[in-house]
């Protein structure tokens, strides 16, 4: 029986990070892109908490950072969704390919 | 008794060191209270009040600056940081003066000022951060409201499209940077800027972290290959916001980059120098090549600002104090010249809705003064000798040459020649080209006139007066 250690958790967070990056780059729906960003942020959160618990248990820097990231992610999502809704009112679409008024 | 004195001293320290942020917060609260109480309905009186408060705020920045740290090293300030904050304050004041023409008929003037000053507050915290946590909070406070004011031409689709592009790419960039920060935390166990330099070594994981953090910075600075959002956002945003993005938010990012890259990553200097080398070559060249083929003048200035960032990075790449002072000096010159150009464009766009270079053909016929102002500003951006832009670029290239990498310097100087071509193309359109229906006479208001004359004086005198450069050098 192997115990779950830092390596496993870092592996999980790396996978989450790259799923997020892949989703952000391939999905064309703006809300899905926003969800991919949340995935990346969660992978960062896992990283911070794991490092804090396994390597630097004396201080709580990592945990505090995680709390701030969660708060800021909420603020970011709120503003982003407001802007997306505003675009939807005039464009009738939240597909990135339809937002093509400006190119090169 | 002793303890009491200590507490009093700590309290006065708090007010003295945090003065720029506190005065900005105070202005934001005044505007909020006016908004809530519904006391002032006339746009022009709100703008007068905001300009007056910003002027006071700018003047306050010159008195009683101290050096010190607060919140257990989270926040630190010194002479150089106070100067950087003054530069940002000054630029915001000029932009606010120039925005009068656009704002006087806008429905949400107070919200515009509140959001604008909130981003400025975020930049202040970012510039004087002494810890990655404070840095990240400042960065987000600076970038989230910025996306909201990019969307401020509420009835235009272009504006919301630009805002979507801005918030998605800036959120993505922050995520990448955060992942880098988490790796730095994991390998060193601290987020404090004062303790990090000795803990960062050639550890592969830390090099990976450096790459992530560097990528995040390059995104925010719009350095090639992470520049793709820049032109679209600049084109879609209202002109004063474009000016703010291209001058203030870029200057703040450069200031932070200066205080993070070399001080923190000294031990891996050869790694980041190679990354920076590649980025500089790409940024200057691609910025220039794309600027040549633009027709929209805001897009044109976007690509020109990308190539200017390449030159600033060239100064930073030296990793010496000379590079730092050259970059800060160049940013002052850049603020004057870019805001000079944007001031004229803002006036034209607010009164005629015309933003294309071809619309500017024959501009000289009806608008003699404005033509000369935009010409001098473009000359300064191109770096033609009597203007300050020449001295700024000269210091940057000299600082960059201290590494002895002559390939880089030759590429940079050749690109300065290319940039002359496209800046002069605009000047040619204004003075030489024929047009049956040139732009009518533009009425400029008092605020715009003051802003433009300050910019002109700045372009001409900062080049000749060596006082400024010596002052920056004395702060190192």
Share the mean pLDDT of chain B. 88
Partners of residue A75 in chain B, C-beta under 8 Å: 140, 144
Name the residue among A44, A62, A79 with its Cβ closest to that of B175. Answer: A44
pLDDT number for residue A33: 93
Name the residue among A68, A80, A104 with its Cβ closest to that of B168. Answer: A80
Compute chain B's Rg from CA coordinates: 22
Residue B423 near residue B304 (C-beta atoms within 8 A): yes
Residue B334 near residue B304 (C-beta atoms within 8 A): no
Per-residue b or e along B450-471, where b marks 16 or more CB atoms closer than 10 Å to that residue's CB: ebbebbbebbbebbeeeebbee
Q: How far is CA B314 from CA B131, B171, B259, B270, in A?
A: 26, 27, 15, 15
Contact A43 B158 (CB under 8 A): no
What number of helices (H) and strands (E) belong to chain B? 22, 2
Residue B445 near residue B49 (C-beta atoms within 8 A): no
Name the residue among B148, B160, B171 with its Cβ closest to that of A90. Answer: B160
Q: Which CATH architecture has domain A6-98?
A: Orthogonal Bundle (1.10)
Please report which confidence band the pLDDT of residue A90 belongs to, taking 50, 70 and 90 as the band edges: confident
Cross-strand partners of B296: B356
What is the DSSP secondary-structure string of B202-232? S-HHHHHHHHHHHHHHHHHHT-TTS-HHHHH
pLDDT number for residue B7: 65
Contact A33 B168 (CB under 8 A): yes
Where does residue B33 rank: exposed (0-12), middle (13-18), buried (19+ CB within 10 A)? Answer: exposed
CB atoms within 10 A of CB A98: 14
User: What percentage of chain B carries pLDDT values higher than 70?
Assistant: 97
pLDDT number for residue B40: 66
Is B147 part of the contact surface with chain A (CB cutoff 8 Å)? yes
pLDDT at B1 over 60: no
Contact A101 B236 (CB under 8 A): yes
Q: Where are the domains of chain A?
A: 6-98
Pick from B136, B143, B182, B298 the residue to mutate for testing the A interface (most A CBs within 10 Å): B182
B283-313 per-position pLDDT tens digit: 999 989 988 888 888 889 999 999 999 999 9
Torsion of CA B150, B152, B154, B159, to 10 degrees: -20
Is B268 part of the contact surface with chain A (CB cutoff 8 Å)? no
pLDDT at B200 over 70: yes
Residue B98 near residue B240 (C-beta atoms within 8 A): yes
pLDDT number for residue A45: 94
B245 vs B266: CA distance, rounded Å: 30
State how far Cα B223 lies from the chain centre.
Answer: 13
Per-residue b or e along B69-91, where b marks 16 or more CB atoms closer than 10 Å to that residue's CB: bbeeebbbbeebbbbbbbbbbbb
Helix (H, G, I), strand (E, B) or coil at B68: strand
Contact A80 B178 (CB under 8 A): no
CB atoms within 10 A of CB A65: 26
Nearest Cα residue in chain A from B234: A102
**Max Cα–Cα distance, chain A, nearest Å:** 58
pLDDT: is B11 or B295 the higher one?
Answer: B295
Task: State if pTM tops 0.80.
Answer: yes
Contact A102 B161 (CB under 8 A): yes
User: β-strand B75-77 against B68-70: which pairing, if any?
Assistant: antiparallel
Of A77-86, B318-327, B379-388, highest mean pLDDT = A77-86
B73-94 per-position pLDDT tens digit: 889 888 889 999 999 999 999 9
Name the residue among B140, B167, B232 with its Cβ closest to that of A80. Answer: B167
Contact A44 B178 (CB under 8 A): yes
Is B148 part of the contact surface with chain A (CB cutoff 8 Å)? yes
Is B368 part of the contact surface with chain A (CB cutoff 8 Å)? no
Contact A99 B163 (CB under 8 A): no
B131-170 per-position pLDDT tens digit: 999 999 999 999 999 999 999 888 888 899 999 999 999 9
Q: How far is CA B127 from CA B113, B121, B250, B318, B346, in A?
A: 21, 10, 12, 21, 28
Pick from A13, A52, A60, A76 the residue to mutate for testing the B interface (most B CBs within 10 Å): A76
Partners of residue B175 in chain A, C-beta under 8 Å: 20, 37, 40-41, 44
Which residues, 6 or more positions from A18, have their beta carbon under 8 angstroms from its beta carbon?
A: none
pLDDT number for residue B147: 92
Contact B133 A68 (CB under 8 A): yes
pLDDT number for residue A73: 93
Pick from B74, B134, B186 the residue to mutate for testing the A interface (most A CBs within 10 Å): B186
Helix (H, G, I), strand (E, B) or coil at B192: strand
Helix (H, G, I), strand (E, B) or coil at B198: helix
Contact A86 B147 (CB under 8 A): no
Partners of residue B160 in chain A, C-beta under 8 Å: 83, 86-87, 90-91
pLDDT at B129 over 80: yes
């Amino acid at each position: 029986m192997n115990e779950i250690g830092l390596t496993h958790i870092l592996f999980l967070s790396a996978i989450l990070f790259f799923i997020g990056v892949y989703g952000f780059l391939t999905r064309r729906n703006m809300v899905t892109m926003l969800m991919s960003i949340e995935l990346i942020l969660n992978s960062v959160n896992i990283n911070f908490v794991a490092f804090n618990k396994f390597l630097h248990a004396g201080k709580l820097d990592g945990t505090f950072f995680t709390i701030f990231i969660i708060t800021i992610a909420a603020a970011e999502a709120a503003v982003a969704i407001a802007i997306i809704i505003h675009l939807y009112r005039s464009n009738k679409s939240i597909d990135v390919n339809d937002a093509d008024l400006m190119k090169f | 008794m002793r303890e009491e004195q200590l507490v009093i001293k700590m309290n006065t320290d708090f007010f003295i060191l945090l003065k720029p942020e506190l005065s900005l917060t105070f202005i934001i609260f005044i505007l909020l209270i006016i908004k809530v109480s519904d006391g002032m309905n006339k746009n022009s009186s709100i703008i007068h009040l905001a300009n007056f408060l910003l002027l006071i705020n700018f003047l306050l920045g010159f008195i009683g600056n101290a050096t010190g740290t607060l919140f257990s090293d989270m926040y630190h300030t010194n002479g150089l940081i106070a100067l950087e904050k003054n530069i940002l304050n000054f630029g915001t004041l000029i932009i606010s003066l120039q925005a009068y023409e656009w704002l006087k008929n806008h429905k949400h003037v107070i919200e515009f000022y509140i959001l604008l000053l909130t981003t400025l507050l975020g930049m202040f915290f970012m510039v004087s951060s002494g810890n990655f946590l404070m840095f990240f909070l400042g960065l987000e406070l600076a970038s989230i409201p910025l996306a909201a004011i990019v969307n401020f031409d509420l009835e235009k689709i272009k504006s919301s499209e630009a805002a979507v592009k801005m918030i998605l790419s800036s959120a993505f960039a922050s995520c990448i940077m955060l992942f880098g920060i988490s790796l730095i935390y994991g390998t060193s166990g601290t987020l404090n800027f004062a303790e990090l330099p000795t803990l960062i070594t050639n550890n592969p994981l830390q090099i990976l972290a450096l790459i992530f953090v560097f990528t995040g910075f390059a995104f925010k600075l719009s350095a090639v290959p992470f520049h793709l959002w820049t032109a679209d956002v600049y084109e879609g945003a209202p002109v004063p916001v474009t000016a703010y993005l291209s001058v203030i938010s870029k200057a703040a990012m450069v200031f932070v980059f200066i205080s993070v890259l070399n001080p923190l990553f000294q031990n891996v200097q050869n790694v980041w120098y190679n990354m920076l080398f590649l980025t500089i070559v790409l940024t200057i060249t691609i910025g220039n090549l794309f600027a040549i083929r633009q027709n929209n003048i805001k897009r044109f200035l976007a690509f020109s600002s990308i190539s200017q960032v390449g030159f600033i990075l060239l100064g930073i790449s030296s990793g010496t104090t000379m590079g730092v002072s050259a970059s800060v000096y160049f940013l002052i010159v850049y603020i004057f010249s870019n805001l000079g150009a944007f001031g004229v464009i803002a006036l034209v766009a607010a009164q005629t809705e015309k933003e294309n270079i071809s619309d500017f053909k024959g501009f000289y016929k009806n608008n003699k003064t404005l033509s000369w102002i935009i010409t001098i500003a473009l000359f300064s951006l191109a770096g033609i000798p009597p203007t300050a832009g020449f001295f700024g670029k000269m210091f940057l290239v000299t600082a960059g040459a201290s590494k002895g990498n002559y390939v880089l310097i030759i590429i940079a100087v050749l690109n300065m020649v290319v940039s002359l071509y496209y800046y002069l193309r605009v000047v040619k359109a204004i003075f030489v080209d024929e047009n049956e229906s040139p732009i009518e006479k533009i009425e400029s208001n008092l605020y715009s006139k003051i802003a433009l004359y300050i910019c002109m004086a700045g372009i001409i005198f900062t080049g000749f007066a060596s006082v400024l450069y010596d002052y920056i050098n004395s702060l190192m």
